[in-house]
């Protein structure tokens, strides 16, 4: 177990543009598949934290084909949490497809993508909001920089994670050290500028930030804390994802070096 403290900004590519507009509404997208044991507390804690800081927000939870009572729980929460908008992914399932379903429904000026198992800290969403309002297009969370930390991270996954992220730093010549972390924030203009999104699974977690960096959107990074889920079963299957991650990384790498800037932010 590793736990660090003292949060702060750790990396960025450019200072934010002064003409960036303030964010009026923050959307939070949470994909959920069979998260009946924890989805209520995830939504409740997030809503309380954002309300305490007077952040206008909506919470979109995408039920990705759950076979438990996730959908019923979400609908039961809407009476006392009116900002909650449950959505069902009625197409093919997969983490990336669920997130894309949420991205097709969000109404905010910016969006945070976070997990439904309380592994991500709601307090970090507030810090994302603050950084976005400084003018950055993207804010990335790092679990492996000074001030960040992980609790109960399985060692085999930890080793693979650090190797994969180090390789991405080399391939794309970036300082950011946690590209595979799903917990990130983007202005709406970034999401629109990175479409079409093609990753159907957890490889979406690298497609969006790498496209954003390659296409010239401003970004910064802050340390965040991750805690292993206390209930339920993790959905990421490492043995199924290796070639899928590689495909997406090579796809964006080819854009970076061979597209002649056709997709750059205008």
Q: What is the predicted pLDDT for the residue at 1? A: 37
CB of 117 within 8 A of CB of 232?
Answer: yes
Q: What is the mean pLDDT of residues 16-33?
A: 83
Strands 225-227 and 110-113: unpaired
Residue 5 lies in a domain: no
Q: Which has more pLDDT, 169 or 150?
A: 169
Q: Which two tokens stand for residue 34?
A: 């069979």
CATH code of 227's domain: 3.90.550.10
Host domain of residue 119: 11-258
Q: What is the predicted pLDDT for the residue at 7? A: 41
Residue 2 lies in a domain: no
Res 130 pLDDT > 90: yes
Helix axes 155-172 and 238-258, enclosed angle (nearest 10): 10
- Closest-CA residue to 63 (of 75, 72, 71, 51): 71
Least confident of 7-21, 46-60, 120-134, 159-173: 7-21
At 239, is the pLDDT very low, low, confident or very high (cuts 50, 70, 90)? low
pTM of the entire structure? 0.89
Domain count, the chain: 1
Q: Which has more pLDDT, 7 or 107?
A: 107
Q: What is the predicted pLDDT for the residue at 3? A: 36
Residue 164 lies in a domain: yes
Res 13 pLDDT > 70: no
Residue 263 lies in a domain: no
Q: What is the spatial distance between Cα 47 and Cα 39, in angstroms, rounded to a whole number?
A: 12
């Amino acid at each position: 177990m590793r736990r660090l403290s003292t949060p702060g900004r750790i990396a960025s590519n450019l200072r934010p543009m002064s003409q960036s507009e303030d964010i009026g509404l923050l959307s939070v997208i949470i994909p959920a598949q069979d998260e009946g044991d924890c989805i209520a507390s995830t939504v409740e804690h997030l809503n309380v934290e954002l309300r305490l800081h007077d952040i206008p927000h909506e919470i979109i939870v995408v039920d990705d084909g759950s076979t438990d009572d996730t959908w019923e729980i979400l609908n039961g929460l809407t009476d006392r949490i009116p900002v909650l908008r449950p959505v069902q992914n009625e197409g093919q399932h997969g983490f990336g497809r669920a997130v894309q379903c949420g991205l097709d429904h969000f109404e905010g000026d910016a969006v945070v993508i976070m997990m439904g198992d309380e592994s991500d800290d709601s307090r970090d969403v507030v810090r994302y909001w603050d950084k976005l309002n400084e003018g950055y297009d993207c804010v990335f969370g790092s679990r492996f920089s000074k001030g960040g930390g992980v609790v109960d991270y399985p060692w085999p996954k930890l080793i693979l994670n650090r190797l994969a992220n180090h390789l991405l730093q080399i391939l794309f010549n970036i300082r950011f050290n946690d590209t595979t972390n799903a917990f990130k924030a983007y202005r709406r203009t970034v999401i629109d500028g990175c479409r079409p999104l093609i990753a159907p699974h957890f490889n979406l977690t690298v497609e969006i930030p790498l496209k954003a960096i390659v296409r010239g959107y401003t970004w910064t990074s802050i340390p965040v804390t991750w805690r292993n889920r206390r209930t339920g079963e993790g959905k990421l299957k490492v043995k199924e994802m290796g070639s899928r991650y590689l495909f997406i990384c090579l796809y964006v790498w080819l854009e970076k070096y061979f597209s002649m800037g056709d997709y750059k932010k205008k």
